[in-house]
Structure 1
């Protein structure tokens, strides 16, 4: 796998590879952990410091840096809640976004990934759901409620954004990488100490095959290959071109994309870019040699304007157990307003 030079990727490899030299950062890690714990206690002891929306809010977050599958989970939640008859809205920080103003209601047919961020644009485009971006998440939630009738809000990330009150906390963990060396930043990948997992409502392990005491399993099921130029859709098992392909993955865990492509019978040369990388028409010139190029759906929303005939993206769907669904619905039903209570 070829990677573009990136400090975050180097750190991720060190954290999850248990690099021995990281112990030099332990004093900073200890200080970071104490500050994180003190900050959380301060918000817990002062309810007035947080704003609780008038409708239930589900935070989909993590305690680690690196990809954990938050975006597929948010998409799954939106679809699941809609199937229950609930009106859903989403709020997101909009990492790297530069909208005309804050807060901003994403318009998927008009906005670009550069304006609103890759993940918000992907979620809004795929789900056709009202989605507001703003680093000030309470302000984003207020704006969402002003713009659309909503029964439930899903927060894309924001577990540590304690100014925004929440009804349920759902934490994602990459099953293969776990918590890395188990240390807080900067010695390790943890945003909060591992003990935080005992306080959340639901833990989901992306890539696990079975539910366990450590969390519910979430599988990522490959969908169709979609041609970025024509919109043609092809099942991977009906792919008629040679299996050797170039692949682009600008996500938190690009190795997962390689494994997915190989499981479908492809022979990919994977080019790993930084998470949230910005692309232009020359970004792939060094390896765009006429072979088909497959990228993640998250990368595709940033490349649609200059896509070529043999560029494709692979759609992916989250798969969760009936036990997870039951636990989620039970936790949510306790907080739904009587008028929004769906009929099961």
Structure 2
């Protein structure tokens, strides 16, 4: 079997709500979902999920190759971008191809990927995470009630701008989750909004009323000294890593003893996750994937010894993607469909795209002008 080509599709995820974080909010309820389909000479096709605008730059590393040699082809793609670097969009393309290669490998074996990788149990423990900063209090409670109905006992909220706002919302979600457990796990994601001393002050103030399990990205992702300072100054664990593009970027954080929960972004691929999990395991640290559409890393999470919990952002699939998984007992239950369990309805996607206008290009992926430069915990006057 040889890789012969690829197709790129863009569909939509209909959240039924506005999504975002401290850096901004998406303009619409629907957001783009990018799908890569790898073609082979035997007619078998592999599916990868995630932005892959640089796919043409690295596809030559896998073209004509047997897709079952996934780790070797992953390294071949990294080598293809050796001089110019594999950060950002290029690493995203490598991740999407990597997912599709793993999907092909498992499909060729006629089994779900979680079996191919070596998982024993199809259940992936998780936590609810609604990308919820745009919701008012009533909508927030209603959202987490839906997660609670699926057995979730842990949740992560977006915050970092207004301390009183964060506290009120954390307490509200804690009360909802108490229907399933007396001691819910609560996390807060500041999305790199604070400087280190501000982070310690704000987290310490929250901890007077709320037992935080972890604080996520309290300062910039590469600030090893800052993350270590926050870790020393608060009770909550420090989680980070979703935006690190390459195994080598974790080294300074690990060497500085700056992280308690090692996170990995789904969009960077399965091989990357497996390698980061192994490095974290060598430091006796747990690993936790940050979610993306279809939750592809869930198949790998069941095969590593140090997986802690998996982020679940929504309970429905993007338009045109039929995914063999369920959300029960506070986690993901993987199915038996071969590969990643993702069936792509290309006709349905094309019809949905034709009826939908282009998405606005702004929101949580644009860093605000005064991020990390606010004096008080309430944020003060916001600047455009």
What is the TM-score of this pair, normalised by structure 1?
0.30
What is the TM-score of this pair, normalised by structure 2?
0.28
